[in-house]
Structure 1
Amino acid sequence: MVEENTKNKPFITLHTPTTTSRVLSECDLYMPNYDKDPDMKSVRENFDRQTSERFEEYDERMITNRQKYKEQCDKDIQKIILKDKIDKSLAKNGLWYATLSQYVTQTSIQKGIGAVISHLDTSLGALNLPGVPLTEIITSGNYYLDTLIMEAIKSEAVSLCAVESTTNQVFCTFTKNGSDLTRSISGAVKGAVQAGKEAAEFEGTKLATNTSILTTSIIISIVTIVVIVLVMLIIYLILRYRRKKKMNKKQQYTKLLN
């Protein structure tokens, strides 16, 4: 049976290597034979040196990149802070200017109304409406035009004289004829309107001049603040640059010593 199984079958010949393999395997890395081999020792030293150099270069790049990102972040933060200060200052001054402009306008109108009332009190005398102060008749809607003032006075006169009263008798005699009332008060009203316009213009000019002076002072203050902030930012960047340069030199010296 054995002869039949082995009949007509080639015999397997074992191959015996004649050369020694010098391939570095992971299992044989720390074998004593490799430690004693000068070539393998040189390879290991080169590998360790190159690996160490790469790690050092990587660390240097990371330090440089972190420093660069930090400086860029600081610059962005400074820009944001400066922009926020400027926006807040402009918003505050804009609101202040709008409020001041409104104040100037209202003050001029009140001066004009006061001048009209004062002139009518002086000119009309007994023609003043009994029981109705001129402050209720002369308003910001009619102080600048004589026809509007006359219409307001006649309207009040008609309503007053519709009721019989001895108090209104002197004044109501003028309401019987509209032309008499118009002639009596037209000259005084025109003069009062002119006086009111002059008073309003004078007050507006005076307040506008003061406003211009205040606005100029505020603008100068804002510009001064911005310049100071910019100078501080420039000084900060210069100090940053010097510090970075000093650190780079220190790293170069350390690298040379190592």
Structure 2
Amino acid sequence: MKIHYINILLFELPLNILIYNQRNHKSTTHHTPKIPTARLLCECDIYTSIYDNDPQMKEVMENFIKQTQPRFEEYDERMKTTRQKCKDKCDKEIQKIILKDKLEKQMEEQLTTLETKIGTDDIPTCICEKSLADKVEKGCLRCAQNLGGIVAPSSGVLGGIGEGAISVLQPLALVAAKEEALAEATSLATKAGVKAVVAELKALITKWGKGALDLSPIVNESNFNCGSALVETAQNLFGQACKVPGSTSDSSFCNSTIYIEKSEYYVGKFGKIGSDAYDATYTSKIAEFEATKVGAVNTTYAGYQTIIIASIVAIVVIVLIMVIIYKILRYRRKKKMKKKLQYIKLLEE
């Protein structure tokens, strides 16, 4: 706009120069006598422009108007758009102020009649804001999903694997325990049989008296329960001693203990004593050792089963606790959202 004003002002100077030159260019002098005319101020129209009757000036003005008029129209159009935007913005602000005042009045009127007390924390400020309860709820839900969907099935699988391993290993352990009990009972029974035969041979020396030989070296773990084996071993060890003249042994003792089967001192009869001692000891010890060993195995694997069951139960309890916490927080959230919806519905009304 300022540019148009400056152009108008600058246009006036050449226009005045042009008009002045046209009036004074080769003006012809008339020799008619000059008659002075007196013009009064009242005869002139002071409100009439001196350029209204000038055709050249009119043409210049028309050209100027033709050039400037479109620019003024464009400027007016732009100003209309700007004014409309400003007007719309002002209208929106006014509507917000009016709506705010209206809501405040409705809140003051309706909150007094509400049965539930709505605090400032219950008013929904922003959807993106999350409370601590919501975060805990989602965390519990995530934990419950992880534990329930991943840990619980995996614990069941691991528990099944553990039970399967126990069901396979426990019979093997029981067999090993019985074999160990059998070996220990056999060892003790063998020692008891050898001890019984040696005791009888020692007693034989006392019964025979002078000239008797100590036959206890003939007894070992392989022949204590076999009479023929005892006789054969005695013949191998003491047969030459009985035959050599001048030895301290009496040949009658050797004959009675080694060669005469019907003699009461015959060592072949001591095999029955060793066998009876072996059977008695084995029968009493095998039951005792089996009960001890098998009981230890059962106790050990029962402890393993208890640990597996306790682990599964603990995981299930943790999952249930997470689910219960999630349900409680879910209920509280629904209750709070219901209260917020009532408040929003009240505001809409």
TM superposition shift of 1:239: 0.9
Structure 2 portions without partners, runs of 5+: 1-138, 341-349
Query: Where does residue 182 of structure 1 map in the other structure?
Result: 259
Change (3 A) 1:128 1:219: farther
Structure 1 portions without partners, runs of 5+: 1-58
**In structure 2, what is the Cα distance between the partners aligned to 1:91 and 1:249?**
48
Change (3 A) 1:87 1:72: same
Is 1:103 aligned to residue 180 of structure 2? Answer: no
Is 1:151 aligned to residue 232 of structure 2? Answer: yes
**In structure 2, what is the Cα distance between the partners aligned to 1:138 and 1:73?**
63
Query: Where does residue 204 of structure 1 map in the other structure?
Result: 282
Indicate conservation of the 8 Å contact 1:113/1:143, yes or no.
yes
> Of the candidates 307, 312, 324, which is equivalent to residue 229 of structure 1?
307
**In structure 1, what is the Cα distance between the partners aligned to 2:210 and 2:219?**
15
**What's the % identity of the aligned pairs?**
12
Change (3 A) 1:253 1:174: closer
TM superposition shift of 1:150: 0.9
The code of the aligned residue for 1:155 comes to: N
Indicate conservation of the 8 Å contact 2:186/2:282, yes or no.
yes
Q: What is the 5 A alignment of 1:1-258?
A: 66-67=146-147, 68-77=149-158, 95=176, 97-123=178-204, 125=208, 130=213, 133-161=214-242, 165-168=246-249, 170-171=250-251, 181-183=258-260, 187=264, 188-215=266-293, 217-218=295-296, 221-222=299-300, 225=303, 228-229=306-307, 232-233=310-311, 235-246=313-324, 248-249=326-327, 252=330, 257=337
Q: Structure 1 length as normaliser, TM-score?
A: 0.54
1:20-47 CA distances to partner (integer Å, 9 max, x unpaired)? Answer: xxxxxxxxxxxxxxxxxxxxxxxxxxxx
Query: Where does residue 128 of structure 2 map in the other structure?
Result: none
Greater Rg by CA: 2
TM superposition shift of 1:248: 4.5
Indicate conservation of the 8 Å contact 2:156/2:312, yes or no.
no
1:38-60 CA distances to partner (integer Å, 9 max, x unpaired)? Answer: xxxxxxxxxxxxxxxxxxxxx99
TM superposition shift of 1:98: 3.3
**In structure 2, what is the Cα distance between the partners aligned to 1:229 and 1:128?**
70
CA-based RMSD of the aligned residues comes to 4.7
SS at match of 1:104: helix
Indicate conservation of the 8 Å contact 1:109/1:140, yes or no.
yes
Change (3 A) 1:209 1:61: closer
**In structure 1, what is the Cα distance between the partners aligned to 2:210 and 2:258?**
9
**In structure 2, what is the Cα distance between the partners aligned to 1:60 and 1:237?**
15
